Structure 1
Amino acid sequence: MEHLARAKAPRSRIYHLMAEGMAFKVTIALRASRVEKWIGDVKRDFLDAATTKCVGLDCKFTDPREGDQRAAVLQLSMASETLVFQICYDDEVPQVLKEFLQDGNIRFCGAAIGNDVKMMSPYGIHITYAYDLQKILPNPTNKSTPSLYDLANCTIGTNLEKKKMKK
């Protein structure tokens, strides 16, 4: 019996999505070079000309039942561009990413972002200006703590729904 070598999965992918009549470009990256390119493109195309520089930030974490919990995925969003960086698979966090997240001219916004900031520190990432939208924006729901979806839907007038994760 002959064993065929399987091709490795691509280290990054780019998706173009439509939602609520808006076009989004989502870059999924495993390599530092793709992260560096995304940061360079976003700075050039959006941030350099912006008077107020805001980037959405979210993290997904490893399962705490499987050992030390840490950030597994870092998601950054700016305008119609989103980066999903599988940080736990990279040998080294790109210096460009560290510098970007420490840029004192950029506000990083998210929901319950304090935990995200804490979980990034083992990677040598220290986010300088993090803003918790749940504490800044008025609560548009009857929930005690609105989700980022709730805040976004109310603020920009969309009806986005969070996809349920399959277990």
Structure 2
Amino acid sequence: MEHLARAKAPRSRIYHHMAEGMAFKVTVALRSSRVEKWIRDVKRDFLDAAPTKCVGLDCEFTDPREGDQRAVVLQLSVATETLVFQICWADEVPQVLKEFLQDGNIRFCGAAIDKDVQMLSPYGINITSEFDLQKILPNPTNKPTPSLYDLTNSTIWTNLEKKKRKKYQKKDVAAQEKEDELILDGPMFH
């Protein structure tokens, strides 16, 4: 039997997506150099001239049932630009990112952001200006804690819906890689 070498996935990809009549650019990165470029670009193109500097922040975590929970993906959004930094598989966490997230002139906004801040600290990241939108914005629902989708739909008059998560199933590495590839190559990111 011949063993075929499998081509490695690209270290970063850029996707363009249209939604709600707007064009979005999503940068998926593993390399610190791509993260540094994204930060330089959004500072130059959006933040430097903005009187109020806001960046959306979210993290995805490992499953707590798997042991020590940690941040796997850091997502940052500015205007129509989004960075998806696969932090736990990255070559390094760049100092430029750490300094960016410590900039007290930038408001980092998210839902239940305290958990994100906590999960990023093992990477040497200390966010000093975080804002939990669930605590700041008026609750447009009857729920005790509105979701980020609820807040977004109420604030910018959209009708976005969160996709339902499938029940947790342990998958082998090959199956998970194939699923991840399908998600990243799907129509949402093109």
TM bin (shorter chain): over 0.9
Greater shift, 49-58 or 82-91, is seen at 82-91
Matched residue of 1:120: which SS?
helix
How many Å separate the matches in 2 of 1:70 and 1:81? Answer: 25
Percent of residue pairs bearing the same amino acid type: 86
How many Å separate the matches in 2 of 1:129 and 1:23? Answer: 28
- Report whether the alignment pairs 1:161 with 2:161: yes
* TM-score calculated relative to the size of structure 1: 0.96
2:119: which partner in 1?
119
- Report whether the alignment pairs 1:3 with 2:37: no
- Greater fraction helix: 2
How many Å separate the matches in 2 of 1:151 and 1:21? Answer: 19
Say how many residue pairs are matched: 167
Contact 1:20 1:159 (8 Å CA) reproduced: no
Q: Give the superposition deviation at 1:6.
A: 1.5
How many Å separate the matches in 1 of 2:149 and 2:123? Answer: 27
How many Å separate the matches in 2 of 1:36 and 1:91? Answer: 13
Q: What are the superposed Cα offsets for residues 3-51 of structure 1, whole Å, 9 maximum, x if unpaired? A: 3212101111111111111111111111111111110110010001100
1:95: which partner in 2?
95
2:66: which partner in 1?
66
Greater shift, 88-97 or 32-41, is seen at 88-97
Matches within 5 A, 1:74-153: 74-153=74-153
How many Å separate the matches in 2 of 1:122 and 1:19? Answer: 35
Matched residue of 2:51: which SS?
coil
Matched residue of 2:153: which SS?
helix
* TM-score calculated relative to the size of structure 2: 0.85
**Which runs of no fewer than 5 residues in structure 2 stay unpaired?**
168-190
Greater shift, 87-96 or 113-122, is seen at 87-96
How many Å separate the matches in 2 of 1:140 and 1:47? Answer: 29
| Moved segments of 4+, more than 4 Å | none
Q: Give the superposition deviation at 1:67.
A: 1.3
**AA aligned opposite 1:133:** L
Q: Give the superposition deviation at 1:166.
A: 3.5
Matched residue of 2:103: which SS?
coil
How many Å separate the matches in 2 of 1:76 and 1:52? Answer: 16
1:17: which partner in 2?
17
**AA aligned opposite 2:41:** D
